[in-house]
C-alpha cells in the first residue's frame, strides 16, 4: 500500500537560491573605478620615470668616471714623439718642439699649438700632428720645395713656387744658374705671388724655347705689371719683354742684337713689347715708360 506524503513548503538549498545583489555600500561606483585606474596608470608612469632616471644617473656616472680616468691616468701621458725625417728643415729643432709634449695628457695636449710652432721652423711648409693611443704623438712634416732665387730685402733667398722666402742662398746647389727675381719687396703679398708665378712661367718658356738665352740672364725684374725686365750677365741694355706674349720680337732681336750693339753702341734698354717693332733706347736719351 502506497503512502502518500502531504506536500509542504520546499526548503531551498544555497545552490538553488537566486543570486542576491550586493549591498549598496559594497558596490564600486564608476567614479571610484576611474580614480583607481588613473592611480594605477600614474604609478606605472612614476615607476618608469624612476627607472629611466636611475639609468641616466648610472650612465652619467660611467661617463664621468671614464673621462676622469682618461684625463688623469698616467697610462695616457705622452711618452714618445715620432717626427718624419727631413731633408732641409732642422730635424733636431722639430724633435725638440715635439718633445715638449712628453709627460702631458694625450687628450688635453694642444695639438693645434704644436702644429703652429712646427710650421714656423724654416723650410717647413705644413705639419700634421696625430694622437696614437695610448701614449704617442706622430708628427708629419711637409717641406717647402726650392724653386728659384729672389732678392728679398737686399739679400738673395731661396724661394718656393709661391715666392715664399725659405732660406738665404749660399751659392751652391741646383739653383746656381737660376736668374734672380727682383722688384718684389714693395709689392703686396698677393700681387707678389702673382708676379712670381709669372716669373716662373717665363723661365719655363725660355727653358723650352731658348735655353741658351736663359743662361745669359742674371736678373728678372717683376716690379711692373706691364713688362718683364731682364738684366744680362754680360751687361748691355735692359731687355723689356711683354708680360704675357714672351715671344714677341724675341727671336728677331736675338738675331740682330750684335748688329745693334755694333752700330748703335751701348743702350739703356731695348723694348720688345710692341708688335713688329723693336725699340732701342740709347744711353743718355730721355727715358720713356
Task: Give me the tens of pLDDT residue by residue for the chain, a chain 289 residues long.
Answer: 455 555 555 555 555 555 556 555 555 567 676 777 777 788 788 888 888 877 887 777 777 776 766 676 778 899 999 999 999 999 999 999 999 999 999 999 999 999 999 999 999 999 999 999 999 999 999 999 999 999 999 999 999 999 999 999 988 778 888 999 999 998 998 899 999 999 999 999 999 999 999 999 999 999 999 999 999 998 889 999 999 999 999 999 999 988 887 777 777 899 999 999 999 888 765 555 5
**Closest by Cα among 36, 127, 116 to 89:** 127
The CATH number assigned to the domain holding 90 equals 3.10.20.310
The pLDDT of residue 9: 56
Asked whether the CA dihedral 216, 221, 225, 226 is positive or negative, the reply is negative
CA distance 206 to 194: 19
Per-position b or e across 38-74, b if 16+ CB within 10 A of its CB: eeeeeeeeeeeeeeeeeeeeeeeeeeeeeeeebeeee
Same domain for 128 and 156? no
Domain limits for position 139: 75-143
Residue 220 located in a structural domain? yes
Measuring CA to CA, how many Å separate 129 from each of 82, 83, 104, 183, 233? Answer: 10, 9, 15, 37, 46
Per-residue H/E/C for 120-172? CCCCEEEEEEEEECCCEEEEEEEECCCCEEEEECCEEEEECCCCCEEEECCCC
Residue ranges in the chain assigned as alpha helix (H): 30-72, 91-99, 111-118, 189-209, 211-216, 250-264
Same domain for 179 and 131? no
Same domain for 126 and 187? no
Residue 257 located in a structural domain? yes
Domain end position, chosen among 143, 161, 184: 143
| pTM, entire model | 0.71
Same domain for 275 and 229? yes
**Closest by Cα among 160, 168, 233 to 196:** 160
Strands 165-168 and 155-159: antiparallel
Same domain for 156 and 277? yes
**Closest by Cα among 222, 80, 241, 225 to 151:** 222
Strands 148-152 and 180-182: parallel
Amino acid at each position: 500500500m502506497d503512502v502518500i506524503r502531504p506536500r509542504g513548503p520546499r526548503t531551498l538549498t544555497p545552490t538553488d537560491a537566486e543570486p542576491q545583489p550586493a549591498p549598496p555600500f559594497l558596490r564600486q561606483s564608476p567614479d571610484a573605478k576611474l580614480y583607481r585606474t588613473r592611480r594605477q596608470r600614474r604609478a606605472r608612469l612614476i615607476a618608469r620615470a624612476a627607472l629611466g632616471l636611475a639609468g641616466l644617473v648610472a650612465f652619467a656616472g660611467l661617463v664621468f668616471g671614464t673621462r676622469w680616468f682618461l684625463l688623469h691616468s698616467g697610462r695616457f701621458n705622452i711618452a714618445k714623439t715620432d717626427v718624419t725625417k727631413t731633408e732641409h728643415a732642422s730635424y733636431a729643432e722639430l724633435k725638440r718642439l715635439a718633445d715638449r709634449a712628453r709627460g702631458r695628457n694625450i687628450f688635453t695636449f694642444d695639438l693645434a699649438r704644436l702644429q703652429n710652432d712646427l710650421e714656423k721652423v724654416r723650410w717647413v711648409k705644413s705639419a700634421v700632428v696625430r694622437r696614437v693611443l695610448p701614449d704617442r704623438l706622430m708628427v708629419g712634416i711637409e717641406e717647402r720645395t726650392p724653386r728659384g732665387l729672389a732678392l728679398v730685402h737686399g739679400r738673395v733667398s731661396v724661394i718656393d713656387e709661391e715666392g715664399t722666402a725659405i732660406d738665404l742662398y749660399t751659392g751652391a746647389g741646383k739653383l746656381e744658374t737660376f736668374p734672380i727675381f727682383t722688384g718684389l719687396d714693395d709689392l703686396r703679398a698677393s700681387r707678389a705671388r702673382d708676379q712670381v708665378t709669372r716669373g716662373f712661367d717665363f723661365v719655363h718658356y725660355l727653358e723650352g724655347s731658348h735655353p741658351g738665352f736663359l743662361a745669359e740672364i742674371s736678373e728678372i725684374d717683376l716690379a711692373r705689371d706691364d713688362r718683364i725686365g731682364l738684366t744680362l750677365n754680360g751687361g748691355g741694355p735692359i731687355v723689356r719683354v711683354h708680360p704675357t706674349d714672351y715671344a714677341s720680337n724675341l727671336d728677331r732681336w736675338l738675331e740682330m742684337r750684335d748688329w745693334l750693339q755694333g752700330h748703335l753702341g751701348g743702350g739703356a734698354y731695348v723694348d720688345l713689347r710692341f708688335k713688329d717693332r723693336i725699340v732701342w733706347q740709347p744711353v743718355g736719351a730721355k727715358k720713356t715708360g
